[in-house]
Structure 1
Amino acid sequence: MIEARRATGEDAAELVRLRGLMLASMAGTEPPPGPWRDTAREALRERLGDPDGSMTAFVVDAPDAPGTLAACAAGTIERRLGGPANPSGRVGYVFNVCTDPRHRRRGYSRACLTALLDWYHDRGVRTVDLRTSASAQPLYRSLGFQLTRDPAMRLALPADPVD
């Protein structure tokens, strides 16, 4: 059985590397270098060690390369207003699920996701959302996720001008 471990701030650089691989697979091109990587590393270092525990990541170490991650899955807990289907209002959100191409088809992402879903369950989260690519849907379906009828929408607000 593959064991996923909880990520620490020391894994931040590798988590950002895997995020770049995930973004490249979704967009078809590698994301450009830039400050987003430094900002993401710093946010992970802060949030993975935050005692409020509203964000975590689970990882599988690459068996052939010490200090390198083979796979990861990250998640947050958001507190919304409760409703009939989710009285507590706690909602999990899964993101940054990625396996390095050299380590695919070995169950590493499944191990990371299973650990993340256990983490949610232990915290009373009963609703978990994610966005998926068509190629990842079989994995998510096998873990119980279902497509929803709700179309996702997004608004990008303009950044404040720099003085």
Structure 2
Amino acid sequence: MSETRRAGAGDAAELMRLRHVMLASMHPGAVTAGSWLSAGVPVLERLLGDPAEPLAAFVVDRPDEPGLAACVVGAVDQRLPGPRDSSGLRGYVYNVATDPRYRRRGYSRACLTALLDWYAGRGITAVDLRASAEGEPLYAALGFVRTEDHPGMRLIIPAR
């Protein structure tokens, strides 16, 4: 089993680097580095620097040089309670990413298992994520099942 640790504010730049790795592998040729990477660093620094924030990241450090080999980032979402969920608390996994040089070593599994333990410690009984074809076998092995997502709608409000 790989050694995971909870990420801190100092990991923000590496977490954004791995987010780019994940998005680029999901959408080859369509995701480029840009200002979104640097814009994410202070957001993660703030969220990871305050333990009261409902966001956590778990990481595996590279075994042979500084930096991160793998990560997972997730948050707690407070929804309105309903008949099947009296707390309304839901976990959401934003990204699971492994640097290509460190894949097939169990690092993503270790990070995701740590996040699921973190959710369980907060009484969260449902966790959602969007699965790529490459990641689906890992998620299924950890107990995730496909859902019947209804087509969503989104409004983009123009900048003013």
TM-score interval, smaller chain: over 0.9
SS at match of 2:70: strand
2:7 counterpart of 1:7: yes
Paired position in structure 2 for 1:25 = 25
> Structure 1: which 5+ runs fail to align?
none
Paired position in structure 2 for 1:126 = 125
Contact 2:20–2:33 under 8 Å retained in 1: no
Contact 2:7–2:58 under 8 Å retained in 1: yes
2:140 counterpart of 1:150: no
Find the aligned partners of 2:158 and 2:34 in 1 and give their Cα distance: 16
Contact 1:77–1:92 under 8 Å retained in 2: yes
Give the Å deviation of 1:30.
Answer: 6.2
SS at match of 2:93: strand
Find the aligned partners of 2:155 and 2:97 in 1 and give their Cα distance: 25
Give the Å deviation of 1:134.
Answer: 1.2
1:29-72 per-position Cα deviation (integer Å, ceiling 9, x unaligned): 26333221121101000000123230010000010112x10000
2:158 counterpart of 1:159: yes
TM-score (normalised: structure 2): 0.95
Paired position in structure 1 for 2:56 = 56
Paired position in structure 2 for 1:47 = 47
Figure out how many residues of one structure are paired with residues of the other and give that number: 160
User: Residues 152 and 45 of structure 1: is their aligned pair in 2 closer, same or farther, counting only changes over 3 Å?
Assistant: farther
User: Residues 43 and 154 of structure 1: is their aligned pair in 2 closer, same or farther, counting only changes over 3 Å?
Assistant: farther
Find the aligned partners of 2:110 and 2:79 in 1 and give their Cα distance: 28
Contact 1:20–1:30 under 8 Å retained in 2: no
Paired position in structure 2 for 1:98 = 97
